[in-house]
Amino acid sequence: MPTNRVEKSLSTIPMAELVQRAPFVEDFFTSHGLALPGEGVSPSAYFAALDSELLEDLGLERQGLTERFMAYMELLEELKAGSGGSRIESITIRGGHDKSGQPEALELTIKPGEVVCIVGPTGSGKSRFLADIEWMAQADTPTGRSILINGRIPDPGQRFSIEHKLVAQLSQNMNFVMDLTVEEFITMHAESRMVEDVSTVTAAIIDLGNDLAGEKFTPRTPVTALSGGQSRALMIADTSCLSTSPIVLIDEIENAGIDRKRAVHTLVDKRKIVLMATHDPILALMGDRRLVFKNGGISAIIATSAVERANLALFEEMDAKLGAVRNALRKGERIEKTG
């Protein structure tokens, strides 16, 4: 894993100077349950002087500590390097075979900014297809598919690197389990991504989330108090701005309180590849293409036609009408007018 991005002597530099160079260096010590070294002390000297009994209690080994520290500094460097825009220009899926072993004769290339929908009956292989992409399959999954990144076979190390994770997933039944405010929550995410200006990024994400959500929330709203629609809006804003993953996978964005069209466009604007498993006509026709799954394989690729786009406008009108009825119901009105 180490790529020698950091100089070997780093662990002999005094803390005060290290903190100047990499503010997140202190996290290494706190995350291992260690007190911070003094300003003039280098990590190596600090490790050498640690009390053996303390190390035993923490379940740490002295010999390994310098190595762990260096690996951590590598990680910081890699994260910083990774935050500079998308490195992925295309993803190519080479067909494998369906559940009966019939070849899936296709090569499909998807580029950032594209929206691809995934349709097909239950058990037809939609989730397996997404897992193939996430795992960067190399003919080693049940489907025999292989995945190319920028036209090349990806480096095997990328498979498990959290810095190069391909797929971010926005799922339907998503909860927050942390007791934090919206602002604290997004800040924590931004810090883990080593972004330069945490507070600006955090404020931008909260604004964007509010744009997408029907009902507004404030930076001080606890995340656990957000409604379903607000949580989704916040997560779409957060993923589009903070996630390193070039692919965003969405299963059905429900109607409630979120502008679906704008949500998808937000992600597209940030040069994400959007894959949506959906049978919602409005979302499905919003895609550039849709992949039809049958018996574990892709049986057709349908590009959204001009006629379908025209129909989309029609469906949006119907949707707006239904939306109005929904609102009327919410307000306690009678629904006796139609048309």
Stretch of residues binding Mg ion (CB under 5 A), selected from 61-69, 122-130, 159-167, 221-229: 122-130
Residue among 66, 86, 92, 127 that touches Mg ion (CB under 5 A)? 127
Q: Which residues contact 104 (CB under 8 A, 6 or more apart)?
A: 95, 96, 97, 98, 143, 145, 297, 298
Task: Determine the Cα–Cα distance for residues 190 and 62; give it in Å rounded to an integer.
Answer: 32
CB 136 within 8 Å of CB 154: yes
Name the nearest CA neighbour of 267 among 240, 234, 247: 240
Sign for the CA dihedral angle at 268, 271, 272, 273 comes to positive
| Contact map string, positions 11 to 30, toward another protein, x by CB under 8 A | ----------------xx-x
Stretch of residues binding ligand ATP (CB under 6 A), selected from 35-43, 60-68, 92-100, 309-317: 92-100
Stretch of residues binding another protein (CB under 8 A), selected from 183-191, 253-261, 284-292, 315-323: 183-191
128 binds ligand ATP (CB under 6 A): yes
Interacting positions 214-273 with another protein (CB under 8 A): 231, 235, 238-239, 242-243
169 binds Mg ion (CB under 5 A): no
Give the CB-side neighbour count of residue 121, counting CA atoms within 13 A.
2
Q: Please report how close the Cβ of residue 104 comes to ligand ATP at its closest, in angstroms.
A: 7
Task: Determine the Cα–Cα distance for residues 212 and 230; give it in Å rounded to an integer.
Answer: 8
Name the nearest CA neighbour of 259 among 316, 184, 325: 316
Residue among 119, 147, 149, 168 that touches another protein (CB under 8 A)? 168
Q: Tokens for 156? A: 């095997």
Task: Determine the Cα–Cα distance for residues 118 and 124; give it in Å rounded to an integer.
Answer: 11
The SS3 of residue 233 is helix
Cα 9 to Cα 14, 32, 42, 107, distances in angstroms? 11, 21, 10, 47
Stretch of residues binding another protein (CB under 8 A), selected from 145-153, 171-179, 212-220, 257-265: 171-179
Residue among 126, 145, 164, 189 that touches another protein (CB under 8 A)? 189
Return the number of other C-beta atoms located less than 10 Å from residue 206's C-beta. Answer: 21
99 binds ligand ATP (CB under 6 A): yes
State which residue, 58 or 328, has the beta carbon closest to another protein: 58
What angle in degrees, to the nearest 10, is found between the helix axes of 182-192 and 198-212?
130
120 binds ligand ATP (CB under 6 A): yes
Which residue, chain included where needed, has tokens 């019939």?
102
Per partner kind, with CB cut-offs from 5 to 8 A, the member of another protein, ligand ATP, Mg ion, none near residue 122 is ligand ATP
Number of residues located near another protein, criterion CB under 8 A: 49
State which residue, 86 or 169, has the beta carbon closest to another protein: 169
Task: Determine the Cα–Cα distance for residues 218 and 206; give it in Å rounded to an integer.
Answer: 8
148 binds another protein (CB under 8 A): no
Stretch of residues binding ligand ATP (CB under 6 A), selected from 87-95, 117-125, 224-232, 308-316: 117-125
Sheet bearing 91-94, strands edge to edge: 107-110, 91-94, 146-149
Query: Residue numbers of the site for another protein (CB under 8 A)?
Result: 1, 27-28, 30-33, 56-61, 68, 71-72, 74-75, 127, 131, 135, 140-142, 160, 162, 165, 168-171, 173-178, 185-186, 188-189, 192-193, 231, 235, 238-239, 242-243
Which residues bind to Mg ion, rule: CB under 5 A? 127
Instruction: Enumerate binding residues for ligand ATP (CB under 6 A).
Output: 97-99, 120, 122-128, 142-143, 293, 296-297
